[in-house]
Amino acid sequence: MSRVVAIVSHQGAIGALGDLASADLSVAAPPGDVPGQVDLMFVLQPIPSWVERILTFARRTALGRNAVRLTPLDPSRRLWRAARRDARLAELVRSADVVVAVDRDAIFTVWKMTRSRRYGTAWAAVYGASAARFALDAMRAAGKPTTA
């Protein structure tokens, strides 16, 4: 059985894991939220509602979206800060065959993980469930043993 670790920044992105979770894979996602064998999900922690209202207002324009991306409140940066503090996530990634960024804000976190020795190097990093399926099929075709 292969191990896929999915990094997501919000609950709404979990639906994109549907075909992976229904296969014989172990997907890092919250118990009960995704069918299949699941261990853990890494979801961005919420921020105060008043800050969220300001960010929502700022995202209405291109200038506002770019301004938010430059601040520490950017969701992708917040996810990376939270991810690097989570020891359970680091252990899951080290034992993974594929780490998949499920949504756009998770891409930065997965990219930073590929650059860090803390997370190991034996896994493939991809964006999206279909790319994860392709990476697993390519590993099997190449005869690379996957995690049991």
Domains of the chain: 3-46+76-141 (3.40.50)
Amino acid letter, 97: D
For the chain, what is the mean pLDDT?
A: 77
Contacts 24+ apart (CB under 8 A), 22-31: 23/133, 25/1, 25/136, 26/1, 26/2, 28/4, 28/89, 28/92, 28/96
The CA–CA distances, whole Å, from 62 to 57, 65, 109 equal: 11, 5, 23
pLDDT given for residue 21 in this prediction: 56
pLDDT tens figures, 2-50: 778 888 877 666 666 666 655 544 444 444 444 444 444 555 566 788 8
**For residue 57, what are its two tokens?**
């207002």
The angle at the Cα of 53, spanning 52 to 54, to the nearest 5 degrees, equals 90
Q: What global pTM score does this model have?
A: 0.75
Q: How far apart are CA 108 and CA 74, in angstroms?
A: 11
Sheet of 26-28, strands arranged across: 37-38, 26-28, 3-7, 98-101, 124-127
**For residue 87, what are its two tokens?**
């020891």
